Each structure stands twice: as structure tokens, then as C-alpha cells.
Chain A
Amino acid sequence: MKTDLLIIGAGPAGINAALTADAAGAEVILVDESLQPGGQLRQQTQLFSNLPKNKKKTRGTSLNNHLVESLNASNVKVLSNHAMVGSYLNGNIGVTDGFKTFEIHAKKYILATGAQEEGKIFPGWTLPGVMTAGAAQILINRELVLPGKNAVIVGSNDFAFEVIKQLRICGVSIKAVVEDKDQLQSEKQDLLSDLGNITFLTNSTIELASGSGEVEHVSIRTPSGIKELEADFICISNGFTPILEPFEVMNCKFTYKEILGGWLPAYNMNFQTTNSNCYLAGSAAGITTLGPILLTGEIAAWSVLEELEFISPREAHNQKKECWEELMTLENNNVFQKRTEIIADSLLQDNWNPKSYFTELQGGQIHG
């Protein structure tokens, strides 16, 4: 299979990149391992503000429907239920549907692999009934199935609070929110006030989750002693980290920024990785919010379009500039700051010629 642009990951970043490239006339294949496109947006029933192009506040699920409809109306070739499994020596990407594996030759690639949830380890964490906040959200909003009746939530970030709200309206009772730090992590006061009456246990950890074959009982170590709860469901919300395997396969270099989720691929102003054929977008380029996720997809697509000469350098410059300006206003300042640090590093790398550097260092000779 041959194409101009191959995008891995059909979440909001991948879809937005695909739509941008398709509208400019590029041939696009969009691969995703899930059964349907949309990524994690498929089950986000919460309202999102801070969206690009003055889009008004909307539910994640509605925005997802809109993106998927646009995708279906476009010329983008969508391969759902297909996973990227490796790359060939010639640089092509290997894709499988679980039965057949084949290679796709693309002029450029955008990897929009998204993020994975961080676990939290405590005795009994492997028991059925312990799951990530994302898993609980998939169950209630995608599958319409309750994960349990009485929940203990581990973690108190924004996402935890959104999921608590969604669990509650479906009828799940929240027994306690356990946070190991000395204060709640979400800074959104409106989210917190929406929650109303709820037991918050700060400076606390789960001592043990127990039960016969599934969670039935939870012991929590609090500063005032052990608290015993009858709960059948533990929901872990411990943040996200970028998904990196496809970048390893494509020989991209990595950098570390704690605020962006830890290790992530290094990239430049064009969202181009150190492998010049590989671009990236979305949470893989640093954990952020929905507005910036959509914008990074668009910037990556404009960069590819410029490189493949579908648009003039002048138009590319204007489009990217517009996106970057919006990104700067929509994104959390600390996150944006770290993003610019990665880009500043990439500029240094471009000017850094290892050969002459070592030649100078070793007095004209390269050893080893």
C-alpha cells in the first residue's frame, strides 16, 4: 500500500491532522488499533472549553461525533482495528489486522499515539474490580455497564473529579477519595464544588484491597489510623504518560520533561521528530488538554503538506503561525513553557555537529 501521509492513531490529534492534510489534497491513510476511530474522546462526556477557532464549549462525545462524521465525508482511508507492529528496513511501516500483516509506504508519517494511564501499586492492585479511571469511564460511557456499586477513588487530579461526577450520575456511590499527597491535586475549584459531599482522605494510601476473586474490602492508611471500607471497585487516576513504542521503532530520539508526562520524543517547531520523515501530534508530544491536542495535529499536518509541496512555504508559515499563536493562548503556561524548551533544544541540536565537536575535543582525532 502506498500513500502520501500515514497517520498512526485516530484520536482527536490524528483525525484533525488527517482532515487538514486531506483538505489540501494529500492522500492519507489513518490507522488505529481500536474498532472505531475517536480514541479516548469516544467516552469523554464532560464539557470541554478552551477549544481552537472559537469553538464553543462542547461535550467530548459530541465533538467526537463531529470529527468522525467529517472523517467519513473525507477521502481519508481509515483502517480501524489495525495496529502498527513494526517497521521494515526500507522504512515502511508494518500494519496488521490480527490475521494479515502488510507494509505501507508513505512519504511522511505522523505518529499520534496518545497517552497511557499510569498505574498505582498497592497490595491487591491486580484484583478484578481495580481499574484505571479511563477504564471505568469506558465501561459507563461506551459500554453502558457499571464497574461496581461502591467505589474508592485513588488520586484527586482533574480527570479523577470528572470521572467521579460521571460515575455518580450513573448511580455509583463514592465511598472515599484517597490522595497520598497532603492536598488535593485538582486546581479547578468549580469541579470540586460540583462534587458536593464526599470523603477526601489526604496523606493516605491503600493498605490492602482484598476479597475472594474480586475486590470486596478496602483498607486505607490515613494519618488518623486505618480506615476500613466495604467497596467493590477501586478506580485509579494517577495521570498519563505518552505512548512511545512506535517512536522507538522509528528510531526517534527522546527527551524528559516531567510536566509533559516524563519521557517523550524530541521535536522541533514543525512537530517533526529526529527522524525527518516522522512527525508527531497530540498527547504523544506532551500530556495536555483537548484544544492543544487538536492544534498540534494541525501543525504537524501543515508541516507535512509544506514538505510534500502541497502548499507554498508562505501559506505553511501563515497557517502554522496562526496555530502556534492559538496554542500559546489555549495551553497551560507551564506545559507550553516545557514544549518551547524541547523546541529550543532541537534548535541547538541542529547547529550541533557531532563530528566536528569530537574532532575538536580529541585534538583532531576521533577515538572509539
Chain B
Amino acid sequence: MQIKKHPILGEKFTEEITFYFNEKPLKAMKGQTVAAALMRNGIRKFGVSRKLFKARGLYCANGRCTSCYVTINGLDHVLSCSTLVEDGMNVHSNESDPDVGGIYN
């Protein structure tokens, strides 16, 4: 659901890139955040809550609410609303708490 030509701001993005969500290739515009890149492809469920595994997605878009966590290039719990999408980026939905004994410790 990309707005091709904004009624006030006109065209803003020019370069199309490819990223991967749960291994599936998707198109996005360079300059968009990961959250927007997912939503333009109709994906609004970014993951599940930590305890009851309820669907979660973009809520505040400002980096405060942490509802939009995804895993980016292997790093868990990244704010998709505050991270720019990049060509070839690997994004995975957030299905649980990070493995604290994992590779980043």
C-alpha cells in the first residue's frame, strides 16, 4: 500500500531495493524504515508478544513503545520503526525473547 504520489509532498523516494522477510524477497523504497517497508507489502503483523504470543505490529512509530520489534540480520529485538531498510537485509518476525546465551553474549 505505497502512496505513489503524495497529494502534498509529491514523490519522495526514487530507488527501489529488495529485502527479505522470513526468507521471502520483498520490494521497498530506499529511505523507508523496515516497519514501513513491511507495511507497504501488506505485512502488519511483525511478531508476537513474549508471554501470550499475541500478534504485534507498529503502534507508536517513534521508537518508544517497542511493539514493532523484529530480528534484523540475526540481531534480535530491533525497532523496525527506527531502522532504515537496506538492500539485501534479512528481516525475521519476532517470535520470542532473544536467546541471551546466544552469539551476542
Contacts and interface: CB of A to CB of B under 8 A. Distances in A.
A131 B65 CA distance: 11
A145 B59 contact: no
A130 interface: yes
A59 interface: yes
Q: Interface on chain B toward A: helix, strand, loop, or mixed SS?
A: loop
B41 to A, nearest CB: 9
A116 B59 CA distance: 12
Contact of A130 (B8, B36, B39, B59): B59
Q: Interface on chain A toward B: helix, strand, loop, or mixed SS?
A: loop
A128 B60 CA distance: 11
A33 B62 CA distance: 10
Interface residues of B, number: 35
6 contacts: A116-B62, A128-B58, A139-B58, A141-B8, A144-B29, A145-B1
Interface of B: 1-3, 6-9, 12-13, 29, 32-33, 35-36, 39-40, 44-46, 49, 54-64, 67, 81-82, 84
A143 interface: yes
A34 B82 contact: yes
A147 interface: yes
A149 B3 CA distance: 12
B60 A145 contact: no
A169 B32 contact: no
Contacts, number: 106
B54 A126 contact: yes
Given A213-B55, A214-B57, 17 more contacts: A33-B82, A34-B63, A126-B54, A127-B54, A129-B57, A130-B59, A131-B59, A132-B61, A134-B61, A140-B6, A143-B32, A144-B3, A144-B6, A144-B36, A145-B40, A148-B1, A169-B8
Interface of A: 33-35, 45, 59, 61, 116-117, 126-132, 134-135, 138-149, 169-171, 213-214
A148 B7 CA distance: 17
Contact of A139 (B9, B39, B56): B39
Residue with the highest number of chain A CB atoms closer than 10 Å, among B32, B60, B82: B60
Contacts of B58: 128, 131, 135, 139, 147
Nearest to A168: B7
Nearest to A141: B9
A45 B9 CA distance: 8
B9 A128 contact: no
A214 B45 contact: yes
Contacts of B33: 143
A35 B62 contact: no
A317 to B, nearest CB: 38
B103 to A, nearest CB: 16
A130 B7 CA distance: 24
Nearest to A138: B61
B56 A144 contact: no
9 shortest A-B CB distances, which residue pairs?
A128-B57, A143-B36, A135-B61, A146-B1, A128-B44, A138-B61, A144-B3, A213-B55, A213-B45
B73 to A, nearest CB: 14
